[in-house]
Structure 1
Amino acid sequence: MLGKAEVLRIEQQSFLRGRAGSTVPVQPQQKYADDHGKSNLFLALVPEREVALQAVETGREIARRYGLSKSPRPHERMHVSLNAIGTYPDFPDDIVFAVSAAMATVKAAPFEVNFDRAMSVTNARAVVLANAIRSEEMMDLHVQLAKEMWSVGLNFTYNPRFMPHMTVLYDDVPVPEHLLAEPVRWIAREFVLIRSVIGKSEYEYLDRWPLLD
């Protein structure tokens, strides 16, 4: 794991307090108010289609149970953010090329992603799926991605309190932490570079890299 002198710790603006002092990093929606039309790049895990559809149905069940008015995100947008790269006025070809080259050197084995509970994120309106126990495999991948970007001179994010989560919907009604009837889980076998155009509900997968044993 990176030492304190090796990384620039870019802390997220808000966190959800979890059990045993754990935290779930989130990005408040208002942050993007002035970024409409810009390209947001980030690295993420993307579930298989069947799992993404299960996450959507889980979001629907949460909405019914707690009287939420908003609908879940489409299954094509279900993901688990690993590392933010940046927000750019135009499509940053040079950044995409540099990230792709850096990520090609990453070595990590497949691992299980397991979200067994749901909750609202304080002050962010997001309803997320999470787990009280942090995935060490995902934390190791988060650190390795930051290290590879740092090694080639790219901006990077590293959060020592990183707690994986999947946002299923946004709503003003708070949802208390509760266990899911059926956990949302899958084996992560790759990670991807995603471009989202802020203000549009679509993702573009720019590159992907396998997780190999």
Structure 2
Amino acid sequence: MEAQLIPVPTNHRELAAGIDYFFAVLPDDQARAGIAGACERFCKSHRVSGSLVGTDNFHLTLCPMGKVERMLPSLEGALLAAAGTVRASAFDITLDSAMRFSVVDGRFPFVLCTDSASTESALKLRQAVAEAQRRGGLAVTGVSSYLPHVTLLHGHAVDAIQESIAPIRWTVREFVLIRRFFGQSRQEVVERWPLESPIAKAPEFFDLSDLPDLAELPEDE
């Protein structure tokens, strides 16, 4: 079950009330099941424990909300408007490694990371979303510093882990804006934007004039 689509108007006061926003891509059902299975296996094999991310909340963070550079009538409205201008193509994601990140707020995130091709594709979309926010008055810093990943849990004493896993793949056909509530596991999908289908590569044709001449066959007597 995916996070519910719940469009709700907002303003700057909501941030003070404990609401944050970020853009993300979501795994499909098959990938979600694969991610949950990988989490279960690693928790058992490495005796990892901590606060598990709910299966419904699995996501790959794409781009944070930018810093407000000028007065905006609606923060959420500015994010929605910016995302609506993004034009990008669908792409494939492959998670092929598991690792423990450095400590954050006293806890160690345990994550699944993408391969190099997926990282490059996700970075292009991240850059497009960040640029769209910039045009709308929201500045995103550190755009090129990016390691796409799906967080599985936050542990208090997770040993250093970095190893390969059986690839988990899905095709990213949309990106979403997520509303997150501080101090809660609750998050909501505010809106979705489809990505364009990749342009099919035209078939290649050979120029017959480039082929070598064939030897003539002898005539039948």
TM-score range (shorter-chain normalised) is 0.7 to 0.9
Question: Residues 159 and 86 (structure 1 numbering): CA distance in 2 closer, same or farther, change over 3 Å?
Answer: closer
Residue 161 of structure 2 corresponds to residue 176 of structure 1? yes
| 1:160 matched residue in structure 2 | 144
SS of the residue corresponding to residue 88 of structure 2 reads: coil
Distance in 2 of aligned mates of 1:58 and 1:173? 16
Q: Answer yes or no: is the 8 Å Cα contact 1:41–1:86 preserved in 2.
A: no
> Structure 1 counterpart of 2:112, which letter?
L
TM-score normalized by the length of structure 1? 0.75
Rounded Cα–Cα distance in structure 1 between residues aligned with 2:179 and 2:141: 16
1:195 to 179, 195, 204: 179
* Shift of residue 48, structure 1, vs aligned partner: 1.1
1:112 maps to 2:92: yes
Aligned AA (2:113): A
Q: CA deviation at 1:52?
A: 1.4
Q: When the two structures are aligned, how many residues end up with a matched partner?
A: 175
Matches of 2:186 and 2:16 in 1, distance apart? Answer: 13
Max radius of gyration: which structure?
2
Distance 2:73 2:113 in 1: 33
| Identical residues among aligned pairs (%) | 28
Paired position in structure 2 for 1:73 = 53
Contact 1:120–1:176 (CA under 8 A) maintained in structure 2: yes
Residue equivalent to 2:22: 42
Where in structure 1 do 4 or more consecutive aligned residues deviate above 2 Å? Answer: 69-72, 155-159
* CA-CA distance at 1:37 after TM superposition: 5.7
C-alpha separation between the residues in 1 aligned to 2:111 and 2:79? Answer: 28
Q: Which amino acid aligns with 1:76?
A: D
Per the TM alignment, residue 53 of structure 1 is displaced from its structure 2 partner at its CA by 2.3
C-alpha distance in 1 between matches for 2:48 and 2:188 = 29
* CA distance in 2 between partners of 1:197 and 1:93 (Å): 21
> Unpaired runs of 5+ in structure 1?
1-34
Quote the Cα distance in structure 1 between the aligned partners of 2:51 and 2:33: 13
In 2: Cα distance, 1:86 partner to 1:154 partner: 4
Q: Cα gap change, 1:67/1:156 in structure 2, threshold over 3 Å: closer, same or farther?
A: same
1:99 and 2:99 correspond? no
AA aligned to 1:144 is: A
SS at 1:183 equivalent: strand
Cα distance in 2, alignment partners of residues 53 and 202 from structure 1: 20
Map of 1:147 onto structure 2 = 131
Unaligned runs of 5+ in 2: 1-14, 198-221
Q: Cα RMSD over matched residues?
A: 2.3
> Which residue does 1:54 correspond to in 2?
34
CA contact (8 A) 1:117 1:179 kept: yes
Q: Output the TM-score relative to the length of structure 2.
A: 0.73
